[in-house]
Amino acid sequence: MSELKLPSIDYAALAPILIMLGAALVGILVEAFVPRRLRNAVQLGLALVAMLAAIVMVILNADARLITIGGAVAIDGPTLFLQGAILVLAVMALLLVGERTVDRGGAFVAHAAVTAESAEDRRQADGVGGATEVYPLISFAIAGMLIFVAANDLLTMFIALEVFSLPLYLLCALARRRRLLSQEAALKYFMLGAYASAFFLFGVALIYGFTSGIPGRGAGVDFATVHAAVTESSSSPVLLFAGMALLAIGLLFKAAAAPFHVWTPDVYQGAPTPVTGFMAACTKVAAFGALLRVFHVAFAGASWDFTPVLGAIAVLTMLVGAVLAVTQTDIKRLLAYSSIANAGYLLVGVLAPSREGLSGTMFYLAAYGFSVLAAFAVVTLVRDADGEATHLSRWAGLGRRSPFFAAIFTFILLAFAGIPLTSGFTSKFAVFGPALEANQAWLVIAGVLTSMVLAFPYLRVVVMMWLSEPGESTPTVTVPGALTSAALVIGVVATLALGVVPGPLLDLTTGAAEFVR
């Protein structure tokens, strides 16, 4: 009888994941035992310290190149860079969340101000207490994302998908006191996310069946086994193509790529704005990190087969995002369709089968994350008596009433439009260049044309803010607190720096652009 051999585990390499899981569990205990008046400060401090500690461990693991837990998790350059990006962007999102949980009129607490009927509701509306369960939920979501980008087999990837998806469904519903729209958004996200997860799991089953047809090899869903099966290609290609298609549906849903994007505008609009920013930045990094690993490692031998299909999806995503952004009248829905279009541009980088394509995609993810969080930080500040003023007509004349913040938002919109000397221009160049070298000129042409279309809604907002007279309904921009100010400064400085001096980050992504197999 053979002796059971336990898999070796490198705890130092897994430290960022373990830290965030530990912080989430401790956060649950804080909710149960810490008095309400102290809970927000304790939870915010705990989550922030955990994220900073996890960032430190990512830096200390910079040279790690290994596969651990029996082949389930891969720690390599892309894993460490994407984990670092998720954590840094999550710190920015946490600053926005912390501000809104204690600020009157904020995205979490202030919903009680609109419908407060009891003394307790009014007390919470004034900033005493709040929805502090947001912190452990965010910690669980981040832990799932860190596992997602490091997963080296499909079952681990599925578990990570559920670990970070379930908290997001709950986070989207935290604005329930202000409007039913938040509950509707959460329900839509949950229902469609459940279908996407089911597709992903069915795809895992088909890929397992595909690998079982390889003579002399055991069946499995780890990426090494899948890659060997695809390379030998002696099994049924029907199972391979069907499995890849179902896996792609699950991943493209999280990436907000067309035609799996339909949840995005409603969820972005209905969710609390700091949560929307968190999803727009961190979830996109996690989704594309998984896409890169699946298609560059597991299915690399089938690139000739999936590139045309994913290319068509990329073009469709760019078109849907750019064209429908033109028709939007709500700033959060506009940013949602902008996110969809950016998913199309990122797919162009995914389809460039080179180290430069991988490097450019990782650079794009980080740069876009900083910009979109800065954009949502400004959105949280434009408020009236009823809360955030997100209808575009309310932003008319904002440049004359609050020129400083209108100028910041103008700069961010110009970055989204890809104007030179901003991170948006550098990002597009970073993914379009490798695509041209890989003979994917049709994708680059589609990207350039849709970028021109997408510039129109951005410039329309700029014109409304600066060339329209402020009316009685034009809201004021609230003075940001220290946490929101810090997040806004980080986002704006990064957007400018990555446009003017992108070299250091590009060098970092180039050095990290190699998967361990």
pLDDT value for 196: 94
More confident call, 235 vs 493? 493
**In a 3-state reduction of DSSP, which class is residue 53?**
helix
What pLDDT is attached to residue 429? 93
pLDDT score of 46 more than 50: yes
Neighbours of 453 (CB within 10 A): 16
233 pLDDT tier (thresholds 50, 70, 90): low
Q: Which two tokens stand for residue 303?
A: 């690139």
Tokens of 338: 């902008």
Q: Is 129 a residue whose pLDDT tops 80?
A: no
Mean per-residue pLDDT of the chain: 88
Does position 447 have pLDDT exceeding 50, yes or no?
A: yes
Report, in angstroms and rounded to the nearest whole number, the Rg of the chain calculated over CA atoms.
Answer: 22
Band (112; pLDDT cuts 50, 70, 90): very low
pLDDT band at 123 (very low <50, low <70, confident <90, very high): very low
Give me the pLDDT at residue 110, please. Answer: 38
**Domain ranges (residues) in the chain:** 15-512
Per residue in 279-301, pLDDT (tens digit) is 999 999 999 999 999 999 989 88
Compute how many other C-beta atoms are within 10 angstroms of the C-beta atom of residue 127: 17
pTM, rounded to two decimals = 0.92
Q: Is the pLDDT score of 124 beyond 80?
A: no
- Does residue 114 have a pLDDT over 70? no
Q: In the predicted model, is pLDDT for residue 95 greater than 80?
A: yes
- Whether pLDDT at 61 is above 80: yes
Position 115 pLDDT exceeds 60: no
pLDDT at 257: 94
Which range is least confidently modeled, 149-163, 291-305, 481-495? 291-305
Residue 274: helix, strand or coil by DSSP?
A: helix
Cβ-based burial of 385 (10 A; exposed 0-12, middle 13-18, buried ≥19): exposed
CA angle (446 as vertex; 442, 447 as ends), nearest 5: 115
pLDDT at 387: 76
Q: What's the average model confidence in pLDDT over 470-491? A: 85
Q: Which residue, chain included where needed, has tokens 């930045």?
A: 281
> Tokens standing for 76?
């390599």
Six-digit token pair at 177? 């006191």
DSSP structure class, residue 102: H
Reported as a single tens digit per residue, the pLDDT across 354-405 is 889 999 999 999 999 999 999 999 999 988 777 788 888 888 888 888 899 9
Whole-angstrom CA distances from 470 to 142, 332, 388, 475 are 41, 21, 17, 9
